[in-house]
Structure 1
């Protein structure tokens, strides 16, 4: 096991950047930073060592030399093969799915003022990275810097997955015996009790992906008491949560097994299970704590990440950092044998098209992060593909506004520099024709095309669907086919900067619906 007491801070250097209107960053994780000039800057890090920064989500700066293939003098990691040598001995470099290159995925950064350097300095940006060679053999690495722009120095490899308890292979000639991880050291030092039989199956020569997670997609955050936490995991055995030692950034592994009050697993090594299991889709976990509502919100992405894969974002919340995290139907996202994941979680969005878009339609939006600025404005930052017949992707940012029940509701159009607020739409303006989208609750791959409805001045919904509506200073309630939807009515500019009246609401059946006023 490594320790920050052995880690010397690297020399920092400023990025040389070029300006861009759009950026292509997969699995974007946004971090809000106050720079040395007192300016608020959003840094976004993503898969394949991609990064950018912006002050307004409209104008982006990208490092001049940030190519993924430039791994010998990388802007964040220097010589990446040397910096992450210990991690790559297990996964992520020139092996199996990473043959001939590197698989470094889904990083996320956080400032930790209590991190201790070997020279006595305190404070570091901790950047957590995923390295992977197969869909189950992966590792999460921790690197640190005193400047968010890096470069970063290696601290430790903190979570491994895909291991076995007997000599075996998985997609290459590499031995997957757990002796290639830090588990023997953790067990010898008494940090983790003995090897757990449930981690493996099929004669101990296969990693048990029904139970144990894939160690990717790390997302650090602080809980309400200021404790540094890490949520992580993808598909396989689901999403897990660990507390981190603030001085080192290394997990405080539970050591012994346990069970939460509601029956979820507390694994001696992987931590507390929050969602998923039995290799159902579910990746990119992200937790944000909202001081105003006193809730923790858990975001996940279901489906396959390709344009035709049905990628879509989901939402749960909890009053406790360890859960349970519940949806509108008060169900957790825990998957048991035979369950289908699409039955759990509010569906934030999926594939969609309507007027006011210049893209021809959006596909597979997901793997999001959420930032709350100093004025308590919410922004959902995610990547999306398009209805263009290829896999091109870009970052999009949508504002979120909480409904009367304190659920953050995503607005239909991307953020264009104008904040949407409640109370912007008068009762006289609400009546009229709307394009209406219902995202349902499935991991559908089809493009969702809008229906046409009318909200009448006497509180009726007519047209392609029938129902009723009420509005109280921007808090909108819809009643359609026995489902109650709670959301917001507001104004925001479309992609042509024309102001549009829009609504967005969650149903008590976990559906998301959008409306865009046409006339």
Structure 2
């Protein structure tokens, strides 16, 4: 049965363009019309619901971004500092014309659809379990895509009760069973601005190959997950041939890919385990295959210039170690390979790492930096990466600092070999004036994004001198291609952009780079002097 949802619009809220004119006398600031954001990365003073008009990119978690011809709309998980949004609906959303200033609009779903509870209890009845009168829900990770003349939102709802006794998931209630199903549903609208969605019901639910063996020996040390595919973290892709696919999965056994009926947006058939999709990515942990593995948040896109499908994955726990990986395939159903040639579909670790906990000087740095959206500006052709990033734990003066979830929108550039690299500073639409070789001469901070679990990679010094010699973090002769904005140091090519130095006080426009080393490790840098 289709249900209509009228979400919570905040039409009376003021836009969140908290910016200032760039009046720096730095020689890279050549566009006087460019504005530099001045909002604080610590948004705890404006975290209350009453201050939501000032949030801009505060309280962003698991974003999805779609363009309606006028605005970019961003939809996110039910998460906010102090749970300020509680009681106002589900799936926070905001919009922007420039990807810099975002207007908070409210929540897209007014209440949990009734089909979730009905379907859950029908599944329980099928295996002889009592119904759960008041399920505990989590609302997670929506993805929104334009399909034809409508917009589809695939969303996740997790039921956090134990399978056996149906009680809420706490240690005190633990009955040696796993927690219950997760579900992916579908809503549609023809007008994002209206925030009026028609719910189309279930698309997939978590599936197990263990029958009624949902036993768990320990609450916190048995990771032999009951479910094979976890119905959470959906993403969607339509191929150039017109086939449509849902890609989803979080922890458990890996990432699933299922073909959809373009008419309904749901699988063609839905009965056995095979109808829930085939596995296109999984993670080997410590040399053995695990049913409980730290990978989730798939995002998929097709780049017609390279001819590859790119699968982005979030690795590890979301609080601190979260990092973003990418692999690619010539067929959406795989197999997917990393930059090292290893087969991610068969369980190889995915490389390269393109975001990772990091720290430039004069700032706490960022952690928990993954579960991304990838989208393209259709007019300019520019590609963008959006995700949350968190402040580290125990930052002085900020209560529960690791719960600060700031949305980051960053530009993507592409290497000669067709791999995406994410820029090291957030996007502000900085001036694209010609960059010349002499502009690069000076002192830089350089970060090598080597993978280390829950460790922030910190910056070291790099000097580019006027004799075209590099020293410090990278050594060798350097040159610059001003037509392609490519800096080459030795054999390493780095994509250069003009962007804001967010760590400077006051913030100012500078030069930044991102690239991959010869061994496929991400390299970030920004000019400081």
Q: Structure 1 length as normaliser, TM-score? A: 0.74
Alignment match, 1:378: 383
Please point out which of 437, 451, 459 is paired with 1:450. 459
Residue 443 of structure 1, CA deviation: 4.3
Which aligned pairs between 1:434-513 and structure 2 lie closer than 5 A?
434-440=444-450, 442-473=451-482, 474-479=485-490, 485-495=492-502, 496-513=506-523
Instruction: Deviation per CA, 1:21-62: give whole Å up to 9, x if none.
Output: 33212111111112xxxx233333334522222222222222
Residue 109 of structure 1, CA deviation: 1.3
- Alignment check: 8 A CA contact 2:478 2:488 kept: yes
Please point out which of 117, 137, 148 is paired with 1:85. 117
- Alignment check: 8 A CA contact 1:87 1:139 kept: no
What CA distance in whole angstroms lies between the structure 2 residues aligned with 1:351 and 1:301?
A: 12
Alignment match, 2:303: 290
Please point out which of 152, 170, 181 is paired with 2:197. 152
Distance 1:168 1:420, change over 3 A: farther
- Alignment check: 8 A CA contact 1:136 1:214 kept: no
Residue 378 of structure 1, CA deviation: 1.3
Alignment match, 1:54: 96
Structure 2 residue 373 is the aligned partner of structure 1 residue 369: yes
- Count of equivalent residues: 428
Please point out which of 140, 150, 153 is paired with 1:127. 153
- Alignment check: 8 A CA contact 1:328 1:508 kept: no
What CA distance in whole angstroms lies between the structure 1 residues aligned with 2:307 and 2:208?
A: 38
Distance 1:221 1:443, change over 3 A: farther
Question: Pairwise CA RMSD of aligned residues?
Answer: 3.3
Please point out which of 435, 447, 470 is paired with 1:425. 435
SS at match of 2:229: coil
Residue 350 of structure 1, CA deviation: 1.1
Residue 83 of structure 1, CA deviation: 5.5
- Alignment check: 8 A CA contact 1:107 1:127 kept: yes
What CA distance in whole angstroms lies between the structure 1 residues aligned with 2:157 and 2:456?
A: 33
What CA distance in whole angstroms lies between the structure 2 residues aligned with 1:393 and 1:53?
A: 17
Which aligned pairs between 1:263-342 and structure 2 lie closer than 5 A?
268-277=274-283, 278=290, 279-307=292-320, 310-334=321-345, 336=347, 341=349
What CA distance in whole angstroms lies between the structure 1 residues aligned with 2:135 and 2:333?
A: 40
Distance 1:428 1:136, change over 3 A: farther
Residue 450 of structure 1, CA deviation: 0.7
Alignment match, 2:286: none
Structure 2 residue 74 is the aligned partner of structure 1 residue 43: yes
Alignment match, 2:143: 108
Distance 1:164 1:319, change over 3 A: closer
Alignment match, 1:261: none
What CA distance in whole angstroms lies between the structure 2 residues aligned with 1:12 and 1:516?
A: 42
SS at match of 2:109: coil
